[in-house]
Amino acid sequence: METIKLHYSETMKLDDMPAVSAAIGFFDGIHRGHQEVIKRAIDAAGERQLKSAVITFHPHPSVVLGKADTREDYLTPLREKEAILESMGIDYLYLIGFTKELAGLSPDDFIERFINGLAVRHLVSGFDFTYGKKGAGNADTLREAAKQHAFSYEAVAKVESGEEKISSTKIRQLVANGEVEAAIDLLGHPLTLTGEVITGDQRGRTIGYPTANIRIAEDYFLPKVGVYAVEVLIDDKTYKGMANLGFKPTFQEDAVVPNLEVHILDFDEQIYGEDVTVSWCKFIREEVKFDGIEALVAQLDRDKEQIGAYFA
């Protein structure tokens, strides 16, 4: 997959652009609903002998427009979004820098620049996709525009779980509540975090629970603080683990940024400086402050037993 970064003011040269079938949207999480849109664009590319593409934006429009529900952290930060799209078989990712100027484009100007300008011959969106100034463009205006331009268009109906639409907002609510199993079901793929293993206070090894301390990038939307059953990918091999996401209140009083520590089961290697991927599997319990080391270790023993049973 080739990623091409674009700015609204750039003029596209059609001779340089391959004709594509494109899915368009922000696609945070690339959940099951998003996947239907993207897969339809891929299928249409095959049917029409086109390349497949995704047209997306960064950062989230709320960051630029200063809305109350600003999103500066994501279920799938850009690097993870790219990896998932590549695994799906997308040929091109058109990454458009979202700015106030872009937000002010009329729907017609948007189509001219980013649909015609990117040689889109078939366009796919979700049923509720909006574009252009104040979201004036939608599926209906795209259907009309397709009649006047050199592209065809289809909107994918909403994908539901139960009777509720699958949405990034719903998934974020679940993750924030620690309901990662339900979130994973709606995502249709693991909920992950990738970070570098860094040196911690090395207290865990003195109590029989050595941990990998993982640097957390600021653009991840994190689950609620607590203890989790996790899987850890290290050098293409997956291990089971127990993770604590939190502030280590038993040992420190003034932490304001959560730490991620993972005790990797059946593992005893030095991995400082390596990137590992943590997949959240199940919330086990809240983070609590213990009266002393003995109480902490007793609880860790219970956590390990519960997590072992979960993975059995």
Give me the CATH topology for the region 2-165: Rossmann fold (3.40.50)
User: What pLDDT is recorded for position 200?
Assistant: 80
Structure confidence at residue 12 as a pLDDT band (50, 70, 90): low
Q: What confidence tens digit (pLDDT) does each residue in 65-120 have?
A: 766 566 679 999 999 999 999 999 999 999 999 888 888 999 999 999 999 999 99
Among residues 237, 241, 254, the alpha carbon closest in space to that of 284 is found at 241
Among residues 266, 186, 200, 203, the alpha carbon closest in space to that of 234 is found at 266
CATH superfamily of 190-311: Riboflavin kinase-like (2.40.30.30)
The ranges of the chain annotated as CATH 3.40.50.620 are: 2-165
Sign for the CA dihedral angle at 199, 200, 206, 207 comes to negative
**Interstrand relation of 51-58 and 20-24 (parallel, antiparallel or unpaired):** parallel
Look up the pTM and report it. 0.91
Q: What confidence tens digit (pLDDT) does each residue in 111-162 have?
A: 999 999 999 999 999 999 999 988 899 999 999 999 999 999 999 999 999 8
User: What pLDDT is recorded for position 255?
Assistant: 62
